[in-house]
Protein backbone atom coordinates (compact mmCIF):
# COMPACT_ATOMS: atom_id res chain seq x y z
CA UNK A 1 0.00 0.00 0.00
CA UNK A 2 1.21 3.49 -0.85
CA UNK A 3 2.08 5.81 2.02
CA UNK A 4 0.87 9.38 2.24
CA UNK A 5 1.78 11.81 4.99
CA UNK A 6 -0.38 14.77 6.02
CA UNK A 7 1.40 17.10 8.42
CA UNK A 8 -0.01 20.29 9.90
CA UNK A 9 2.38 23.21 10.06
CA UNK A 10 2.68 23.91 13.77
CA UNK A 11 6.34 24.86 13.84
CA UNK A 12 8.70 25.90 11.04
CA UNK A 13 8.36 24.79 7.42
CA UNK A 14 11.59 22.85 7.91
CA UNK A 15 10.25 20.93 10.91
CA UNK A 16 7.01 20.24 9.04
CA UNK A 17 8.86 18.77 6.08
CA UNK A 18 11.17 16.69 8.29
CA UNK A 19 8.17 15.22 10.12
CA UNK A 20 6.50 14.32 6.82
CA UNK A 21 9.61 12.43 5.72
CA UNK A 22 9.79 10.62 9.05
CA UNK A 23 6.17 9.52 8.72
CA UNK A 24 6.80 8.29 5.19
CA UNK A 25 9.82 6.40 6.51
CA UNK A 26 12.11 7.67 3.78
CA UNK A 27 15.28 9.67 3.31
CA UNK A 28 14.54 11.31 -0.03
CA UNK A 29 18.05 12.67 -0.60
CA UNK A 30 21.39 10.88 -0.31
CA UNK A 31 24.87 12.41 -0.09
CA UNK A 32 26.08 13.59 -3.48
CA UNK A 33 22.63 13.58 -5.10
CA UNK A 34 21.78 16.09 -7.80
CA UNK A 35 18.31 17.36 -6.80
CA UNK A 36 15.70 19.23 -8.83
CA UNK A 37 13.00 21.03 -6.84
CA UNK A 38 10.07 21.80 -9.15
CA UNK A 39 7.52 24.25 -7.66
CA UNK A 40 4.43 25.81 -9.21
CA UNK A 41 5.40 29.38 -10.12
CA UNK A 42 2.61 29.94 -12.62
CA UNK A 43 2.74 33.71 -12.20
CA UNK A 44 4.60 36.33 -10.10
CA UNK A 45 1.99 36.14 -7.32
CA UNK A 46 2.31 36.83 -3.60
CA UNK A 47 3.91 34.01 -1.55
CA UNK A 48 0.73 33.37 0.47
CA UNK A 49 -1.73 33.82 -2.41
CA UNK A 50 -2.46 30.14 -2.97
CA UNK A 51 -1.51 30.63 -6.62
CA UNK A 52 2.14 29.59 -6.24
CA UNK A 53 4.17 27.28 -4.04
CA UNK A 54 5.13 29.14 -0.89
CA UNK A 55 8.82 30.13 -1.21
CA UNK A 56 9.29 29.38 2.50
CA UNK A 57 8.45 25.74 1.84
CA UNK A 58 10.92 25.70 -1.07
CA UNK A 59 13.57 27.14 1.24
CA UNK A 60 12.88 24.42 3.82
CA UNK A 61 13.15 21.66 1.22
CA UNK A 62 16.32 23.19 -0.22
CA UNK A 63 17.85 23.40 3.25
CA UNK A 64 16.89 19.79 3.93
CA UNK A 65 18.61 18.67 0.72
CA UNK A 66 21.80 20.53 1.63
CA UNK A 67 21.76 19.12 5.16
CA UNK A 68 21.43 15.64 3.65
CA UNK A 69 24.63 16.25 1.67
CA UNK A 70 23.20 16.86 -1.81
CA UNK A 71 25.89 17.62 -4.34
CA UNK A 72 23.71 20.03 -6.33
CA UNK A 73 20.31 21.57 -5.67
CA UNK A 74 18.33 23.44 -8.32
CA UNK A 75 14.93 25.14 -8.10
CA UNK A 76 13.54 25.02 -11.63
CA UNK A 77 10.28 25.95 -13.33
CA UNK A 78 8.72 26.85 -16.68
CA UNK A 79 5.86 29.27 -15.85
CA UNK A 80 2.45 29.33 -17.48
CA UNK A 81 1.97 30.05 -21.17
CA UNK A 82 -0.34 32.84 -19.94
CA UNK A 83 2.75 34.79 -18.85
CA UNK A 84 4.47 36.92 -21.51
CA UNK A 85 8.01 35.78 -22.24
CA UNK A 86 9.30 39.09 -20.93
CA UNK A 87 7.80 38.36 -17.50
CA UNK A 88 8.95 34.76 -16.99
CA UNK A 89 11.94 35.61 -14.81
CA UNK A 90 9.65 37.68 -12.57
CA UNK A 91 8.05 34.42 -11.44
CA UNK A 92 11.33 33.86 -9.58
CA UNK A 93 12.42 37.40 -8.75
CA UNK A 94 9.13 39.00 -7.64
CA UNK A 95 8.07 35.96 -5.61
CA UNK A 96 11.30 35.89 -3.61
CA UNK A 97 12.46 32.51 -4.92
CA UNK A 98 15.63 34.01 -6.39
CA UNK A 99 16.55 35.51 -2.99
CA UNK A 100 15.99 32.18 -1.28
CA UNK A 101 18.24 30.42 -3.78
CA UNK A 102 20.95 33.01 -3.20
CA UNK A 103 20.60 32.67 0.57
CA UNK A 104 20.99 28.89 0.33
CA UNK A 105 23.78 29.07 -2.23
CA UNK A 106 21.86 27.04 -4.79
CA UNK A 107 20.73 27.75 -8.37
CA UNK A 108 17.35 28.80 -9.66
CA UNK A 109 16.70 28.14 -13.33
CA UNK A 110 14.05 29.25 -15.77
CA UNK A 111 13.70 26.14 -17.92
CA UNK A 112 12.94 28.29 -20.96
CA UNK A 113 16.51 29.61 -20.93
CA UNK A 114 18.11 26.15 -21.02
CA UNK A 115 18.17 23.03 -23.18
CA UNK A 116 15.29 20.63 -23.81
CA UNK A 117 15.08 16.99 -24.80
CA UNK A 118 13.01 16.38 -27.93
CA UNK A 119 10.44 13.61 -28.26
CA UNK A 120 8.75 12.49 -31.46
CA UNK A 121 5.96 10.02 -32.22
CA UNK A 122 5.66 8.79 -28.62
CA UNK A 123 2.58 6.52 -28.35
CA UNK A 124 -0.34 8.03 -26.49
CA UNK A 125 -2.58 11.07 -26.60
CA UNK A 126 0.20 13.65 -26.79
CA UNK A 127 1.58 15.91 -29.54
CA UNK A 128 3.65 14.30 -32.25
CA UNK A 129 6.58 16.54 -31.37
CA UNK A 130 7.31 18.15 -28.01
CA UNK A 131 10.21 19.00 -25.72
CA UNK A 132 10.88 18.45 -22.01
CA UNK A 133 13.47 20.31 -19.94
CA UNK A 134 16.76 18.44 -19.57
CA UNK A 135 16.69 19.34 -15.87
CA UNK A 136 13.84 16.82 -15.46
CA UNK A 137 16.23 14.03 -16.47
CA UNK A 138 19.60 15.39 -15.34
CA UNK A 139 18.99 14.77 -11.64
CA UNK A 140 19.16 11.92 -9.18
CA UNK A 141 16.12 13.11 -7.24
CA UNK A 142 13.14 15.09 -8.51
CA UNK A 143 11.07 16.76 -5.77
CA UNK A 144 7.74 17.96 -7.14
CA UNK A 145 6.16 20.74 -5.05
CA UNK A 146 2.77 21.90 -6.41
CA UNK A 147 0.20 24.02 -4.56
CA UNK A 148 -3.38 23.07 -3.69
CA UNK A 149 -5.41 24.60 -6.50
CA UNK A 150 -8.56 24.03 -8.58
CA UNK A 151 -8.68 24.04 -12.37
CA UNK A 152 -11.39 24.79 -14.93
CA UNK A 153 -10.46 21.84 -17.17
CA UNK A 154 -9.03 19.17 -14.87
CA UNK A 155 -10.86 20.06 -11.60
CA UNK A 156 -7.54 20.16 -9.73
CA UNK A 157 -4.00 21.10 -10.66
CA UNK A 158 -1.74 19.24 -8.25
CA UNK A 159 1.32 16.99 -8.55
CA UNK A 160 0.54 15.27 -11.85
CA UNK A 161 -0.36 18.44 -13.74
CA UNK A 162 2.57 20.34 -12.21
CA UNK A 163 4.90 18.38 -14.49
CA UNK A 164 3.50 20.34 -17.42
CA UNK A 165 5.85 23.13 -16.32
CA UNK A 166 8.72 20.98 -17.63
CA UNK A 167 7.49 21.42 -21.21
CA UNK A 168 8.95 24.02 -23.54
CA UNK A 169 6.73 27.09 -23.49
CA UNK A 170 5.47 26.92 -27.07
CA UNK A 171 4.70 23.18 -26.74
CA UNK A 172 2.33 23.60 -23.79
CA UNK A 173 -0.74 24.62 -25.83
CA UNK A 174 -0.41 21.48 -27.97
CA UNK A 175 -1.08 19.27 -24.94
CA UNK A 176 -4.63 20.66 -24.94
CA UNK A 177 -5.42 19.83 -28.56
CA UNK A 178 -6.65 16.25 -28.08
CA UNK A 179 -7.17 15.11 -24.47
CA UNK A 180 -5.40 17.11 -21.76
CA UNK A 181 -5.87 14.56 -18.97
CA UNK A 182 -4.49 11.69 -21.04
CA UNK A 183 -1.62 13.84 -22.25
CA UNK A 184 -0.70 14.67 -18.65
CA UNK A 185 -0.70 10.98 -17.76
CA UNK A 186 1.58 10.20 -20.72
CA UNK A 187 3.96 12.94 -19.55
CA UNK A 188 3.93 11.40 -16.07
CA UNK A 189 5.09 8.12 -17.59
CA UNK A 190 8.16 9.90 -18.91
CA UNK A 191 8.97 12.20 -16.01
CA UNK A 192 8.72 10.48 -12.64
CA UNK A 193 9.32 12.57 -9.49
CA UNK A 194 10.87 10.71 -6.58
CA UNK A 195 8.86 12.76 -4.07
CA UNK A 196 5.70 14.88 -4.29
CA UNK A 197 4.78 17.52 -1.73
CA UNK A 198 1.52 19.48 -2.08
CA UNK A 199 1.71 22.89 -0.45
CA UNK A 200 -1.52 23.53 1.50
CA UNK A 201 -0.18 26.34 3.68
CA UNK A 202 -1.76 29.43 2.07
CA UNK A 203 -4.73 31.20 3.62
CA UNK A 204 -6.75 30.70 0.47
CA UNK A 205 -7.15 27.94 -2.10
CA UNK A 206 -5.96 29.00 -5.52
CA UNK A 207 -7.95 28.68 -8.72
CA UNK A 208 -6.73 28.88 -12.30
CA UNK A 209 -7.69 32.26 -13.69
CA UNK A 210 -7.61 33.97 -10.30
CA UNK A 211 -5.23 36.89 -10.63
CA UNK A 212 -4.66 39.70 -8.12
CA UNK A 213 -7.01 38.16 -5.61
CA UNK A 214 -10.25 38.05 -7.63
CA UNK A 215 -11.20 34.69 -6.10
CA UNK A 216 -10.96 33.90 -2.40
CA UNK A 217 -11.75 30.46 -0.98
CA UNK A 218 -10.61 30.13 2.60
CA UNK A 219 -8.54 27.24 3.91
CA UNK A 220 -10.44 27.63 7.17
CA UNK A 221 -7.33 28.18 9.22
CA UNK A 222 -5.69 24.93 8.12
CA UNK A 223 -2.03 24.89 7.12
CA UNK A 224 -0.44 21.59 6.14
CA UNK A 225 1.47 19.64 3.52
CA UNK A 226 0.65 16.34 1.80
CA UNK A 227 3.62 14.19 0.83
CA UNK A 228 4.13 10.87 -0.95
CA UNK A 229 6.39 9.18 -3.46
CA UNK A 230 3.15 7.99 -5.15
CA UNK A 231 2.06 10.84 -7.43
CA UNK A 232 -1.45 9.44 -8.00
CA UNK A 233 -2.00 8.88 -4.27
CA UNK A 234 -0.92 12.40 -3.32
CA UNK A 235 -3.30 13.87 -5.92
CA UNK A 236 -6.10 11.61 -4.70
CA UNK A 237 -5.67 12.89 -1.14
CA UNK A 238 -5.32 16.48 -2.35
CA UNK A 239 -8.58 16.17 -4.28
CA UNK A 240 -10.40 14.62 -1.32
CA UNK A 241 -9.22 17.39 1.00
CA UNK A 242 -11.18 19.97 -1.03
CA UNK A 243 -14.27 17.80 -1.33
CA UNK A 244 -13.67 16.32 -4.78
CA UNK A 245 -14.03 12.57 -5.28
CA UNK A 246 -10.66 11.39 -6.70
CA UNK A 247 -12.51 8.94 -8.94
CA UNK A 248 -14.01 11.93 -10.79
CA UNK A 249 -10.59 13.50 -11.48
CA UNK A 250 -9.51 12.04 -14.82
CA UNK A 251 -5.78 12.60 -14.33
CA UNK A 252 -6.02 10.58 -11.11
CA UNK A 253 -8.19 7.74 -12.44
CA UNK A 254 -6.23 7.49 -15.68
CA UNK A 255 -2.99 7.57 -13.68
CA UNK A 256 -4.21 4.56 -11.71
CA UNK A 257 -5.11 2.73 -14.93
CA UNK A 258 -1.62 3.47 -16.28
CA UNK A 259 0.01 1.93 -13.22
CA UNK A 260 1.42 5.21 -11.91
CA UNK A 261 -0.07 4.84 -8.44
CA UNK A 262 -3.10 4.21 -6.25
CA UNK A 263 -6.27 6.32 -6.34
CA UNK A 264 -8.43 4.35 -3.87
CA UNK A 265 -8.41 6.17 -0.54
CA UNK A 266 -9.23 2.94 1.28
CA UNK A 267 -6.03 1.38 -0.04
CA UNK A 268 -3.71 4.16 1.10
CA UNK A 269 -1.71 4.23 4.32
CA UNK A 270 -2.26 7.79 5.52
CA UNK A 271 -0.03 9.02 8.34
CA UNK A 272 -0.33 12.16 10.41
CA UNK A 273 -3.57 14.12 10.30
CA UNK A 274 -6.85 12.35 9.63
CA UNK A 275 -8.38 13.24 6.30
CA UNK A 276 -11.86 13.68 7.78
CA UNK A 277 -10.59 16.52 9.97
CA UNK A 278 -9.20 18.45 7.01
CA UNK A 279 -11.95 18.31 4.41
CA UNK A 280 -12.61 21.75 2.94
CA UNK A 281 -15.52 22.29 0.56
CA UNK A 282 -14.59 24.48 -2.40
CA UNK A 283 -16.38 25.59 -5.51
CA UNK A 284 -14.84 24.83 -8.87
CA UNK A 285 -14.28 27.83 -11.18
CA UNK A 286 -17.25 26.93 -13.38
CA UNK A 287 -19.50 26.79 -10.30
CA UNK A 288 -18.36 30.24 -9.22
CA UNK A 289 -18.96 31.69 -12.68
CA UNK A 290 -22.38 30.07 -12.92
CA UNK A 291 -23.50 32.01 -9.86
CA UNK A 292 -22.29 35.35 -11.21
CA UNK A 293 -23.14 34.82 -14.87
CA UNK A 294 -26.06 32.37 -15.25
CA UNK A 295 -26.59 33.57 -18.84
CA UNK A 296 -23.00 32.78 -19.86
CA UNK A 297 -21.93 29.64 -21.71
CA UNK A 298 -18.26 28.85 -22.38
CA UNK A 299 -17.74 26.36 -25.19
CA UNK A 300 -14.67 24.72 -26.72
CA UNK A 301 -12.69 24.92 -23.47
CA UNK A 302 -11.71 21.25 -23.64
CA UNK A 303 -9.51 22.10 -26.65
CA UNK A 304 -8.23 25.43 -25.39
CA UNK A 305 -4.88 25.98 -23.70
CA UNK A 306 -4.23 27.73 -20.40
CA UNK A 307 -3.23 30.90 -22.22
CA UNK A 308 -6.83 31.46 -23.31
CA UNK A 309 -8.51 29.87 -20.29
CA UNK A 310 -6.59 31.91 -17.71
CA UNK A 311 -7.06 35.16 -19.64
CA UNK A 312 -10.80 34.59 -20.02
CA UNK A 313 -11.45 33.40 -16.46
CA UNK A 314 -9.36 36.19 -14.98
CA UNK A 315 -11.38 38.75 -16.94
CA UNK A 316 -14.67 37.17 -15.85
CA UNK A 317 -13.63 36.93 -12.20
CA UNK A 318 -12.65 40.61 -12.29
CA UNK A 319 -16.01 41.61 -13.73
CA UNK A 320 -17.84 39.38 -11.28
CA UNK A 321 -15.98 40.98 -8.37
CA UNK A 322 -17.08 44.38 -9.68
CA UNK A 323 -20.72 43.28 -9.67
CA UNK A 324 -21.18 43.13 -13.44
CA UNK A 325 -24.04 41.09 -14.86
CA UNK A 326 -24.93 39.88 -18.34
CA UNK A 327 -27.98 41.56 -19.84
CA UNK A 328 -28.77 38.63 -22.15
CA UNK A 329 -27.37 35.18 -23.02
CA UNK A 330 -23.81 35.11 -24.31
CA UNK A 331 -21.74 32.26 -25.72
CA UNK A 332 -17.97 32.56 -25.43
CA UNK A 333 -15.86 30.29 -27.60
CA UNK A 334 -12.27 29.36 -26.82
CA UNK A 335 -10.18 26.77 -28.60
CA UNK A 336 -10.00 25.60 -32.17
CA UNK A 337 -12.72 25.33 -34.83
CA UNK A 338 -15.46 27.49 -33.34
CA UNK A 339 -19.05 26.51 -33.98
CA UNK A 340 -21.09 29.69 -34.20
CA UNK A 341 -24.53 29.23 -32.60
CA UNK A 342 -27.59 30.78 -34.16
CA UNK A 343 -29.66 33.57 -32.59
CA UNK A 344 -27.24 34.02 -29.67
CA UNK A 345 -24.67 36.69 -28.93
CA UNK A 346 -21.26 35.15 -29.58
CA UNK A 347 -17.73 36.16 -28.61
CA UNK A 348 -14.54 34.34 -29.62
CA UNK A 349 -11.35 34.43 -27.56
CA UNK A 350 -7.81 33.74 -28.81
CA UNK A 351 -6.26 33.19 -32.21
CA UNK A 352 -7.52 29.61 -32.49
CA UNK A 353 -11.13 30.76 -32.13
CA UNK A 354 -10.81 33.91 -34.22
CA UNK A 355 -10.63 32.29 -37.64
CA UNK A 356 -8.78 34.65 -39.94
CA UNK A 357 -10.39 35.51 -43.24
CA UNK A 358 -13.88 34.39 -42.28
CA UNK A 359 -16.85 36.52 -41.43
CA UNK A 360 -17.96 35.89 -37.93
CA UNK A 361 -18.66 37.33 -34.50
CA UNK A 362 -16.58 39.85 -32.65
CA UNK A 363 -13.65 38.53 -30.69
CA UNK A 364 -10.31 39.11 -29.04
CA UNK A 365 -7.32 37.59 -30.78
CA UNK A 366 -3.86 36.94 -29.42
CA UNK A 367 -1.84 33.97 -28.24
CA UNK A 368 -2.38 34.35 -25.40
CA UNK A 369 -5.12 37.00 -25.62
CA UNK A 370 -4.81 40.14 -23.50
CA UNK A 371 -6.95 40.15 -20.35
CA UNK A 372 -7.64 43.89 -20.57
CA UNK A 373 -8.96 43.51 -24.11
CA UNK A 374 -11.23 40.67 -23.00
CA UNK A 375 -12.60 42.78 -20.14
CA UNK A 376 -13.26 45.62 -22.59
CA UNK A 377 -15.08 43.33 -25.04
CA UNK A 378 -17.11 41.53 -22.35
CA UNK A 379 -18.12 44.88 -20.87
CA UNK A 380 -20.14 45.58 -24.02
CA UNK A 381 -22.50 42.77 -23.00
CA UNK A 382 -22.60 43.68 -19.29
CA UNK A 383 -24.60 46.14 -17.20
CA UNK A 384 -22.88 48.34 -14.66
CA UNK A 385 -23.68 46.09 -11.71
CA UNK A 386 -24.39 47.08 -8.14
CA UNK A 387 -20.84 48.40 -7.64
CA UNK A 388 -20.91 51.04 -10.35
CA UNK A 389 -18.85 51.37 -13.50
CA UNK A 390 -17.06 48.33 -14.90
Residue 91: its pLDDT value, please? Answer: 95
For residues 103 and 75, what is the distance between their CA atoms, to the nearest angstrom? Answer: 13
Q: How confident is the model at residue 218 (pLDDT cuts 50, 70, 90)?
A: low
Beta bridge partners of 75: 37, 108
* Planar angle of CA 28, 154, 344, nearest 5 degrees: 160
Residue 357: its pLDDT value, please? Answer: 41
Q: How confident is the model at residue 390 (pLDDT cuts 50, 70, 90)?
A: very low
Assess contact for 31 and 68: CB atoms under 8 A: yes
Query: How confident is the model over 170-198, as pLDDT tens digits?
Result: 999 888 888 999 999 999 999 999 999 99
More confident residue, 74 or 203: 74
More confident residue, 279 or 246: 246
- Record: fold of 2-277: Rossmann fold (3.40.50)
Residue 387: its pLDDT value, please? Answer: 47
Residue 358: its pLDDT value, please? Answer: 44
Q: Write b or e for each residue in 298-320: b if 16 or more Cβ atoms lie within 10 A of its Cβ, otherwise e.
A: bbbbebbbbbbbbbbbbbbbbbb
Residue 149: its pLDDT value, please? Answer: 93
Q: Where does 53-106 show beta strands of DSSP type E?
A: 72-77
Instruction: State the average pLDDT over residues 269-282.
Output: 89
Residue closest to 336 by CA, chosen among 347, 323, 348 = 348
The answer, yes or no, to whether residue 299 has pLDDT greater than 70, is yes
The residues of the chain that CATH labels 3.40.50.11440 are 2-277
Residue 384: its pLDDT value, please? Answer: 58
The answer, yes or no, to whether residue 252 has pLDDT greater than 80, is yes
Q: CA quadruple 56, 53, 77, 146: dihedral positive or negative?
A: positive
Residue 341: its pLDDT value, please? Answer: 63
Percent of the chain with pLDDT over 90: 65
Percent of the chain with pLDDT over 70: 91
Q: How confident is the model at residue 262 (pLDDT cuts 50, 70, 90)?
A: very high
**What predicted TM-score, i.e. pTM, was given to this entire model?**
0.91
Residue 353: its pLDDT value, please? Answer: 83
Residue 220: its pLDDT value, please? Answer: 67
For the chain, report the end-to-end CA distance as a whole number of angstroms: 53
Instruction: State the average pLDDT over residues 111-122.
Output: 95
Residue closest to 112 by CA, chosen among 96, 135, 143 = 135
Query: How confident is the model over 362-386, as pLDDT tens digits?
Result: 789 888 899 999 999 999 999 855 5
Q: Which helix (H) or strand (E) holds 101?
A: helix 97-104
CB atoms within 10 A of CB 74: 20
**107-110 and 116-120: which strand pairing?**
unpaired
More confident residue, 72 or 209: 72
Q: Which helix (H) or strand (E) holds 90?
A: helix 90-93
The answer, yes or no, to whether residue 26 has pLDDT greater than 60, is yes
Q: CA quadruple 281, 287, 289, 294: dihedral positive or negative?
A: negative
Amino acid sequence: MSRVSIVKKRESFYATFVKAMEELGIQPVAPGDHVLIKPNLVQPAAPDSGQITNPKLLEAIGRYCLDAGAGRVVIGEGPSYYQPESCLRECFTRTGVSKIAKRLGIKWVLFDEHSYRSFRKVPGCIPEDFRVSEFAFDCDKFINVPVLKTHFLTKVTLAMKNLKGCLKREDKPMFHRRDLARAIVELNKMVAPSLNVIDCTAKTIGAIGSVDGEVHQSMGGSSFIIASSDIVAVDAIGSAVIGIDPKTVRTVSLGKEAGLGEDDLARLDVYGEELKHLRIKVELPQEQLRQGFPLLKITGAEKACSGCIISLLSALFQLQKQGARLEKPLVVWVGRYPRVPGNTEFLSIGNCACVEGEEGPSGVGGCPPDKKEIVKMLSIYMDKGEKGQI
